Amino acid sequence: MSAAPGQNIYFVSLGCPKNQVDTEVMLGQVQAAGHALCDVPEDADVIVVNTCAFIDQAKAESINTILEMAEYKKDRAAKLVVTGCLAQRYADEIATEIPEIDHILGSSDFPSIARAIAPAPATKKPARGKKLPVVQVTETPAYIYDHDAPRVRIGARHTAYVKIAEGCDRPCSFCIIPKLRGPQRSRSIDDIAAEVAQLGAEGVKEVNLIAQDLTRYGWDLDGRPTLAALLRRIAGTPGIHWIRLHYTFPSAFSDELIDVIAGEPTIAKYVDVPLQHIDDGMLKIMRRGHSARVTYELIERLRARIPDVVLRSTFIAGHPGETEEMFGALKTFLTHVELDRVGVFPYSIEPGTVSAMLPHRVPQDVADARVAELMALQAEISRKKLERLVGREIDVLVDGISEETDLLLEGRFYGQAPGIDGVVYLADGTAPSGAIVRARVTQASEHDLAASLEL
């Protein structure tokens, strides 16, 4: 049964860019089924919340958003559908605790969205609080979209995310992603190339490749195609100016991959490698499968062979068993290596993971203090590194009028990924959104640059 056409559908998308891609695919399916997308929940016949459940903060935001959207059912006969990672992990709990939900779809069940938004059959209304949602959650997620999937992209038209694989096979002790997203499943090179070509034809200038682990791309496919082979295939796609890599793993970073990044002009000299820690004892506890030496050697190889490469990473502070000495090793690493971009998060207990059962818990206030100390340290490093760009000319992808003031444009150079790395404020000229402009850097702060279009 498909949904009766002509309904107004309102979407809320939470969490990471991978979730955003799922939402865009759902938007495409809903629109292809003859429904209209609306901008405010007050106008909706159906409200869809695509949730995140990666850490406690994300879970809380998802629950609060569901409850907020449930309020709209009091004034309008709207249907409420919940999907994504929270739905995958806690379907039974949210079905019981939030009976305002009508339908729950797991993290790979969202292709059924058109059926889920179908109007309920005309039957006698159950007593308030007695109805339970329809739950549709596949125990082991298996879906991955392809280039033929209808899709309505969110946000700027000149930048796009392309999910080249879904799921993860790594055994990291702190991570719940394999249970939320299932085993790794990669798309074929032909399929990804077709999507990138279509995006280029639509005016996209920047393609952000995403997966739980880019460097293991293709390991699950016949012939084991590599990320390097994929990059060579799509590097010359007409219209594409930057191809950016997100979420690579240190031990799987091949020399061939480094050579492709260095040699292909359209591959942004930007590498996102979530390291999580540097102390060998903590890496073992985290089940990361590599040593500190591997990390140091990778950074040395990247910097030696990719001139002006920008390195981004994330770390966890306060993981069970993290001693002051281990934390000290992490501080020393950041001080000496001077990564360009760093995010640090306090350890979050994830039930069902190995780490959640470990002893030697770090008190929350200690973990938070360690995060603050590392971020303060990195702020100074980031400022110093950005100040080295003052006086240089750089290419900037214009995102549009600045959110700070309509007297400035806002954009990014190759070392700034959308939404996470700061911006370049552009003065002394104008340019359309999506344009690539040449600008001279005039000022730098901890995260942002100021530049002039007058060269």
Tell me the DSSP string of 114-169. Answer: HHHTSPPPS-PPPPTTT---EEE--SS------TTS-----S-TTEEEEE-EE---
Q: How large is the C-alpha radius of gyration of the chain?
A: 23
Task: Report the number of distinct structural domains present in the chain.
Answer: 3
Q: Is 180 helix (H, G, I), strand (E, B) or coil?
A: helix
Give which of 241, 195, 229, 303 is closest to 436, Cα–Cα.
Answer: 241
Mark whether 416 and 399 lie in a shared domain: yes
Domain end: 360, 387, 414, which one? 387
For strands 393-401 and 409-412, give the pairing.
antiparallel
The answer to whether the CB of 91 falls within 8 A of the CB of 104 is yes
152 falls within a domain:
no
Mark whether 212 and 304 lie in a shared domain: yes
Domain with residue 322: its CATH number is 3.80.30.20
Residue 87 φ/ψ, nearest 5 degrees: -65, -40
The answer to whether the CB of 50 falls within 8 A of the CB of 26 is yes
147 falls within a domain:
no
**How many CB atoms sit inside 10 A of residue 171's CB?**
12
Q: Which amino acid is at 214?
A: L
334 falls within a domain:
yes
**345 CB-contact burial (10 Å; exposed 0-12 / middle 13-18 / buried 19+):** middle
Q: What's the farthest any 2 CA atoms get from each other in the chain?
A: 72
Mark whether 221 and 112 lie in a shared domain: no
422 falls within a domain:
yes
Domain end: 352, 371, 387, which one? 387
**359 CB-contact burial (10 Å; exposed 0-12 / middle 13-18 / buried 19+):** exposed
The answer to whether the CB of 155 falls within 8 A of the CB of 204 is no
Give which of 349, 18, 316 is closest to 167, Cα–Cα.
Answer: 18
Give which of 261, 256, 286 is closest to 272, Cα–Cα.
Answer: 261
Mark whether 378 and 407 lie in a shared domain: no
pLDDT of residue 56: 84
pLDDT of residue 455: 84
Q: Which residues contact 337 (CB under 8 A, 6 or more apart)?
A: 296, 299
pLDDT of residue 272: 96
441 falls within a domain:
yes
- Give this prediction's pTM: 0.93
Mark whether 104 and 221 lie in a shared domain: no
pLDDT of residue 4: 58
Mark whether 322 and 409 lie in a shared domain: no
Query: Along the 455 residues of the chain, how does pLDDT read in single tens digits?
Result: 344 578 999 999 999 999 999 999 999 999 999 999 999 999 999 999 999 988 888 899 999 999 999 998 887 767 999 999 999 999 999 999 999 999 999 999 999 999 898 876 544 444 454 567 899 999 999 999 999 999 999 999 999 999 999 999 999 999 999 999 999 999 999 999 999 999 999 999 999 999 999 999 999 999 999 999 999 999 999 999 999 999 999 988 999 999 999 999 999 999 999 999 999 999 999 999 999 999 999 999 999 999 999 999 999 999 999 999 999 999 999 999 999 999 999 999 999 999 999 999 999 999 999 999 999 999 999 999 999 999 999 999 999 999 889 899 999 999 999 999 999 999 999 999 999 999 999 999 999 999 999 98
Residue 25 φ/ψ, nearest 5 degrees: -65, -40
Residue with tokens 């992209």: 153
Mark whether 380 and 398 lie in a shared domain: no
Give the C-alpha separation, 326 to 234, whole Å: 41
pLDDT of residue 131: 65
153 falls within a domain:
no
Mark whether 163 and 267 lie in a shared domain: yes
Please, where are the H alpha helices in 235-363? 255-263, 280-285, 292-305, 324-337
145 falls within a domain:
no
Q: Which residues contact 51 (CB under 8 A, 6 or more apart)?
A: 14, 15, 62, 65, 66, 82, 83, 84, 85, 86, 87
Per-residue b/e over 186-217, b at no fewer than 16 CB within 10 Å?
A: bbbbebbbbbbbebbeeebbbbbbbbbbbbbb
pLDDT of residue 126: 47
Mark whether 371 and 411 lie in a shared domain: no
Domain end: 341, 369, 387, which one? 387
Give the C-alpha separation, 301 to 373, whole Å: 28
What Å distances lie between residue 66 and 9, 42, 73, 341, 454, CA to CA? 15, 15, 11, 33, 48
Give which of 303, 447, 307 is closest to 382, Cα–Cα.
Answer: 447
Mark whether 248 and 121 lie in a shared domain: no
Mark whether 77 and 198 lie in a shared domain: no
Q: Which domain holds residue 24?
A: 8-136
* Token pair for 434: 């999506």
Domain with residue 422: its CATH number is 2.40.50.140
The answer to whether the CB of 106 falls within 8 A of the CB of 137 is yes
Between the two ends of the chain, the Cα-to-Cα distance in Å is 61
Q: Is 230 helix (H, G, I), strand (E, B) or coil?
A: helix
Domain with residue 20: its CATH number is 3.40.50.12160
**44 CB-contact burial (10 Å; exposed 0-12 / middle 13-18 / buried 19+):** buried
The answer to whether the CB of 248 falls within 8 A of the CB of 273 is yes
* Token pair for 192: 């990804």
Mark whether 368 and 227 lie in a shared domain: yes
195 falls within a domain:
yes
